[in-house]
A and B are shown apart, each in its own frame.
Chain A
Amino acid sequence: MTALQIIFLFVAAVTLASAVMVVSARRMMHAALWLVLSLAGVAVIFALLDAGFFTVVQVLVYIGAIAILIIFAIMLTRKAMEDVGPQLNRGWWLAALAAVGVFAGLAVVLVSWPGVNASAGAGPDANLIVTFGKDLVDPHKFVMPFEVASVMLLAALIGAIYVSVEHKGGQK
């Protein structure tokens, strides 16, 4: 086992463990903080794969923006700082069964896919970001998704503002 593999296993374990903590923590704020750790773990895995751009994007968007958004959302919630009810309900074994089933299905599909054992080949060349940027605005490649992404972001923005602001100024 190389040092890289040991680091990967450690980071993966931390990521999964904090993901479990996200759903089992009693305080919502703690759940959000475990989520941050989990997301950071994913960022480190990106770095291990030499995908620098995605590492910073993961930190910038997921930790710097989405986690903050979630924390703000928690602070909006009324009287939800402390959860007192039981963590499990009667159907928990059904849920567990379903989860195991989905995992097994995914594992079977992935193992039968030839790409699962293939290594990525030589490390990504330094100009990968340049290629990415060129393809984004290339009419033969991703220019449509690029512009559609912009429209979708706009739709998200308008929707969110409509929901959160509209009814307050009802007289307008």
Chain B
Amino acid sequence: MEDWLYIGLFVFISIALPAVAIFLAGLLSPKKPNPIKNTSYECGIETVGPSWVQFKAQYYVYALVFLVFDVETIFLYPWAVAYNQLTLFGVLEAVLFILILLSGLLYAWKKGALEWM
């Protein structure tokens, strides 16, 4: 519990430190907004069309493949912690687990889901 208290405080501080810095800089810096200055920079010229554009499905596929592998790997962490006390059977179980997912990667590969289009 004490560890988590420390972690909680540390995360809080690591958000608060930049917040304080940004606030202090806000006090020091000049504030002279004007309509031209406040337009979006975009790419250096005027914005054309809506800026929240529709994205292609490729991003979603990457996130999905990532999610599957992420969940898989997290399953393996308790196994890795117990690794030194396992029998060979236990190790091979995890190997089978990985092999099943490797076939998933292979499928994604063959289907072209991993190409950037």
A residues in contact (CB < 8 Å) with B: 44, 47-48, 50, 52-53, 55, 57, 60-61, 64-66, 68-69, 72-73, 75-78, 81, 123, 129-134, 136-139, 143, 146-147, 149-151, 153-154, 156-158, 160-162, 164-166, 169
Q: Which A residues are in CB contact (< 8 Å) with B63?
A: 65, 68-69, 72
B contact residues, total (Cβ < 8 Å) = 50
Q: Tell me how far the C-beta of A104 lies from the nearest C-beta in chain B, rounded to whole angstroms.
A: 34
Kindly state the separation between the CA atoms of A169 and B101 in the bound complex, as whole angstroms. 24
Q: A160-B64, A164-B60 are in contact. List 13 more A-B contacts (CB 8 A).
A: A60-B74, A61-B67, A72-B55, A133-B82, A134-B90, A136-B75, A137-B82, A137-B91, A150-B101, A157-B101, A157-B107, A158-B104, A164-B113
Contacting residue for B103 out of A73, A129, A154, A156, CB 8 A: A154
Q: Tell me how far the C-beta of A2 lies from the nearest C-beta in chain B, rounded to whole angstroms.
A: 12
Kindly state the separation between the CA atoms of A139 and B66 in the bound complex, as whole angstroms. 29
Q: Tell me how far the C-beta of A133 lies from the nearest C-beta in chain B, rounded to whole angstroms.
A: 3
B24 within 8 A of A: no
Q: Which B residues are in CB contact (< 8 Å) with A156?
A: 68
Q: Is the CB of B54 within 8 A of A75?
A: yes
Given A129-B78, A146-B93, A154-B100, also A161-B113 (CB < 8 A)? yes
Kindly state the separation between the CA atoms of A146 and B71 in the bound complex, as whole angstroms. 12
Kindly state the separation between the CA atoms of A136 and B107 in the bound complex, as whole angstroms. 26
Q: List 18 A-B contacts (CB under 8 A).
A: A53-B78, A65-B63, A65-B66, A66-B67, A78-B54, A133-B77, A134-B90, A136-B82, A138-B90, A150-B101, A151-B100, A154-B100, A154-B101, A157-B101, A161-B65, A164-B57, A164-B64, A165-B112
Most buried by B among A68, A81, A133: A133
Kindly state the separation between the CA atoms of A162 and B64 in the bound complex, as whole angstroms. 12
Q: Which A residues are in CB contact (< 8 Å) with B83?
A: 133
Given A60-B74, A134-B82, also A72-B60 (CB < 8 A)? yes
